Amino acid sequence: MIEFDLALSFTAARQPVVVVQISGFIDVWWIVHDGGLLMLLPFLLRQHRTWRHCKMRLFTVAQLEDNSIQMKKDLKTSLYNLRIDAEVEVVEMVRLFFKSRVSHFAQQLEPH
């Protein structure tokens, strides 16, 4: 759910300016772990006054055999090291769906 707040501020020339502030969530689905580059976009969005009040949620995909608890802990540690405040959720997927979709996506990212 996204909520909008309007605020009235004034410029140096005493001209009124309407400022829109959005509160809600910025959701990031992190499928291919690229070292944190994907975290840069929502981080930069939150630096702007319009998006400042949004919270960031990071969703990552795990297979049923993966240790989801350890994965969540590792991601929280990585985000802490990047100084990014975000909620972390690990979504477990069925192996057949996960393997076909993610491997296809990862192959497209690899240099030819």
Q: How confident is the model at residue 76 (pLDDT cuts 50, 70, 90)?
A: very high
Higher pLDDT, 42 or 109: 42
CB 54 within 8 A of CB 73: no
Angle (nearest 5°) at CA 40 between 85 and 31: 85
pLDDT at 73 over 90: yes
| Structure confidence at residue 6 as a pLDDT band (50, 70, 90) | very low
Tell me if 54 sits within 8 A of 23, measured CB to CB. yes
Bigger pLDDT: 55 vs 18? 55
What is the pLDDT, as a whole number, of residue 72?
A: 92
Q: Does position 8 have pLDDT exceeding 50, yes or no?
A: no
Given pLDDT bands bounded at 50, 70 and 90, which one contains residue 39? Answer: confident
Asked if residue 4 has pLDDT above 80, the reply is: no
Query: Is the CB of residue 27 less than 8 Å from the CB of residue 59?
Result: yes
pTM for this model (two decimals): 0.63
Over the chain, what is the mean pLDDT?
Answer: 76
CA dihedral 59, 106, 96, 66 (to 10 degrees): -50
Least confidently predicted of 4-8, 23-27, 104-108: 4-8
Burial class (CB in 10 A: 0-12, 13-18, 19+), 17: exposed
